[in-house]
Structure 1
Amino acid sequence: MGRTLRLALWAIAAVLTILMVVGIAEYRAETGDEAAVYPAGTMLLGYTFFALMSGGINDSALICAYILGKPEEYRGLRRDLLTALAVLIPGVVLIFSEIAHPEHAQWLYLGFNVESRIAWNAVLYIVYGLFLIALLLYLIVRGEEAAGTPAAKTLAFLALAASLILEANLGMAYGANVSILPWFGVFSSMLTVAAAFALGAAWLALTGRIRLEGVLAGEEAEKWCRKCAKELIITLTALAYVILWGLVGLYSWGMTKDYVSIVVSGELASYFWLGYVLVGTIIPIAIAVAAAKGRARTALPLAGVLAVIGIAAFLLVPYNYGAQYFRATTNEFYATLAAKLGVAEEYTVSHYLTGPETLAFIGGFGLALLLDLIGESLLPLKPGEKPRRLWILK
């Protein structure tokens, strides 16, 4: 990575992190009765998004290293694990910033409700994070050649299992909400797991070539590029399949037929067809297909960026906002409440996307990047870099 690019990334990370702080501060200073009608804002979806992206990066790295290949030959495993950890942190920050009384968070554990999916999320975040950190520290101290040892394989299995369970449970937290019918059922869990895999592949497509520049060359670099492209094609296609048949199922269920109409041909159609289908699926897959055939290799990072934007667009608007909009306009109780509070006309999709919560969500990418750059500067993460005994383990 060149010096100019590195400085630019540091600057972008700093600016976005400041925006995150500003967004959170503005959100905490505001009060709004619309929360009773639209309880899940962009910060709540943001914490889910960053958790899914973290899990997807972790899943992609561990599956490639331990299931599809040999772990000691996987170039950049430590780097990917650090990124997974860095991306997880903004999610934790967003959820603690979003809840009204973060100082009461301990009661999720002290008064643990085994039937609550949100309570399980609080546990699974910690379990996944601990296994991820343990594997990363092990490879930093022992070196990347230790990735094939029994201890590393055990930690990798536990980290992979924990991330998959967390991804599914994040969807279950939505799917258990019977009052918001488009979320209710198994569709939400299928969506979050598929989105996690697609986000992980998109991140690999975005950063893989940059990270391994100067490490891989010739045929080995071409092979890596094709591998990233194929993974992106498969995961984006799988996500599109889940979303397509999820919408077909919701349309077939008479109670949510109008929701599908809103998404596909109504108020939110542009976000679905342009934001997700075109930007997030068709264009990235077309670029990845060309890269898999040995063409447009340098455009693969662009495919990763567009995939992340498209997936975020779908989760933010058709899925998160659209389901709540559907409830507020079709459920008699919530329609009355929305009218009484005056949010029926005020809380439009533009209002939803332009508030301080969205600023905090976008800024979360800066915090993840900042932590990623700091870790890269302090830790031995590059392929072939010698292990280092950290002071915390001395």
Structure 2
Amino acid sequence: MSGNGNGDFPVFTPEIVNEIHGNDPDQSSVGGMLAAGNTIQQIRTSYMTAVSVQKKRDLAEITKKCEQEAQYAGDSLWYGWKQGGKEISGETIGLAMIVARNWGNCATEAFVVEDRPTHYLISASFIDLENGSTISRPFKQNKNRKMSDKQKANPEEIARQEDITLQIAVSKAVRNAILAATPGWLHARMIEAGRNALADGLTGEKLKKAIAATIHAFQDKWGVTEEMLAEYVEKPSASWVAADMIELKGVYNALKEGREKVSVIFAPKDTADPVPTSQASTPTAQAPENESASTTNSGGELPLSDSQLSREDMINEIGKTMKDLGITAGLQRNQAAGRWTNDEATSIADLFKAPDDVIKAALGRARDELRQKQDNE
């Protein structure tokens, strides 16, 4: 056994290993592998150089497999909720693990950096063995899990709750590292595949059963009533469609993962959301006479007053417009994306990855289509 030149940790040679293990012909052991002339590699940190792999990464095949799994995973891939006129959303640990599994030639690890009375600090890493890159992310998890007086009086229950908190922290830290290291467009395509598969299956009696099950689940798990859900969706449960169910599933996942509290997501809407100071103080261009500031011209371009819309705002409005038009099934959504971009080959996933000017034009045409429908009604 000898040093590695830096005095950090020992380097095993065939002779030294055989002194410990014997001349083991079984190559499943360290001694057997080295005695047979093979090499081993011991990684003591998250950082390493690229290594030669037998099967190199095929991005097209990875995408295909991830989308295929997403169709089966359906509603377990994302969380999301509306707050203050904005939509907050993200990917779940389930999606991250699908990506890591299909990405291949990679590894993840997580360590407890700090274990304080109030919180855990976790460091997680995603290690790409093929290209030698390592992405690390820290995650802080508070220990203030809600417990009943009976649970607090039981030391075993307190320890169990601490174990649960640690597992949650590790899962979130690993997820963050995986999502940071892998392409965002892949995550978007997976969510779209899951949404489309879910929407296609929510029709007729299946939709009615799903609505009833959703109402029961929210009531049973968090005490959220049917009336609260209806206020959130802004329509009675009898009028819910597949898109509403998909939206509520995102809320369910957000609560399940502890992303937000029930009291925040389902806060009473007695008053309208206040206009942010920055937005209220920003002057907007005047619309031409006899023309609303929200109308568009025949070319589908946005009016000047909408020129400050963020990319996220435009995408959210396109999604809402689809819902208002009753466009919920995957095929319908893709057809709408093709119409609004003047390119039949454009899918909804392609639209959301398109340049800002394409999204602006698509939003303009979406508004035109909605206005025409409302005029006909």
Shared fold (TM-score, shorter chain, > 0.5): no
Bigger strand share = 2
Q: Which structure would you say has the larger RCO, counting Cα contacts within 8 Å and 6 or more residues apart?
A: 1
The structure whose Rg is larger is 2
TM-score for the superposition, normalised by structure 2: 0.24
TM-score (norm 1): 0.24
Higher helix residue share: 1
